[in-house]
Amino acid sequence: MHVLIVGGGVVGLACAHALAGRGAEVTVCEAGTLGGGSTGRAAGGIRTQFSTRVNVELSLASVPVWESFADDFGVDIDYRRSGYLFLARTEETAAAFRENVAMQTEAGAPSRVLSPAEAAEYLPELRTESFVAATFSAADGVADPHSAVQGYADAVRAAGVDIRTKTPVTDLARVGDGGSDDGSADTAAAAATASDTGGWRAETPDGPLAGVDLPIAPRRRQIAVVEPEGDLPADAPLTIDLDTGAYFRPEREGTAIVGGHFADSDPDVDPDRFDESMDVEWAVEATERADDAAAYFGPETRIRNGWAGLYAVTPDHHAILDEAEPGLVVAAGFSGHGFQHAPATGEAVADLCLGEDACEVDVSALSLDRFESGETLRERNVA
């Protein structure tokens, strides 16, 4: 079987790796450079703390790959397991936390509900008086998406995958029971297609890709790199103040990453011409919100630099993983979770393409038709 993958980010390359490992002939077409889209601007978070079972299971199935990545792929992805700390300011959010943790632990994630005082053991300068509860999982952490792309790219090339950069796919036309690209890539009869299209590739200038309308929209997200006024411990968890939308984590050499989706989403953003630089006013607000959660980011905090990228967002903040049409498998719209879920996604896509059942995660809840049937999901832990 010959599979054409549209998109050379980490999800597309993970799909290529899984398919090649099962004997498929694979071609990857990337409009720009490998990892040059959403992957290259990701924060690198890897967490098991989600509010839906399918997201938790995608994470749990992916974590072992990240743990052994350096040994298996020969590339150090700087995988750090300092955990994620979610903070609740209201009783309503705290109740949702307790419900989430019950589901997460049932699925096998080592999550715990904490009091503010217990949370301060992981983050000593936490403003405990502002919060009513927290959750923590030591299974969570961060890694470097750029290095992951390098490792996957090296591995799939060694497996014989044909990678074509600067090769945009403008449309797909079905040939027999499969499909093929209409000209940009010379792949004559792809029996199935895995689409890692990103936030701006669900539509082409001539309409939906392959005639399939995907409910995916680009949302601009920003990240600031700062020098905190206080001494943020290097092993501090990635902390998310869920009720304000702010988050932060330590970075290298005493710096920290600060972010949040409270004011940086523009529904009318042009995905091909959006501003990739960081807005200074946004960075000031993000830093102030971080300081409102923990006393590390006072007025002497220095904003060094930052960047903006795009989330590929669906209406329910969950990916689409489905054979949308015969011969067309869609893996897109990860809503900020694509990097961390890439390994399990690759296995799920390989199952869909090859008609197998090897992936341990049931991804049927992520079908495209859920948006028509009304059986959408709800992800509360959006960050």
Q: For residues 129 and 52, what is the distance between their CA atoms, to the nearest angstrom?
A: 29
- In the predicted structure, residue 47 carries a pLDDT above the cut 50: yes
**Those residues with Cβ within 8 angstroms of residue 4's Cβ, 6 or more apart along the chain or in another chain:** 26, 27, 29, 169, 172, 179, 180, 181, 185, 187, 190, 193, 194
> Which backbone phi and psi does 226 adopt, to 5 degrees?
-130, 160
User: Nearest to residue 335, comparing CAs of 54, 27, 5?
Assistant: 54
Among the listed ranges 52-56, 162-166, 206-210, 297-301, which one has the minimum average pLDDT value?
206-210
> How much of the chain exceeds pLDDT 90, in percent?
67
- The owner of tokens 């093929």 is 180
Which domains, and CATH codes, for the chain?
A: 2-64+145-216+316-373 (3.50.50.60), 82-141+217-313 (3.30.9.10)
Secondary structure of residue 207 in the 3-state scheme: strand
Q: For residues 272 and 249, what is the distance between their CA atoms, to the nearest angstrom?
A: 29
Average pLDDT over residues 115-138: 98
Joined together, the tokens standing for residue 144 give: 């470097």
Q: For residues 347 and 326, what is the distance between their CA atoms, to the nearest angstrom?
A: 19
- In the predicted structure, residue 179 carries a pLDDT above the cut 80: no
Residue ranges with strand state E in 165-291: 172-175, 178-181, 192-195, 203-204, 207-208, 217-227, 238-241, 246-250, 256-260
Average pLDDT over residues 285-293: 96
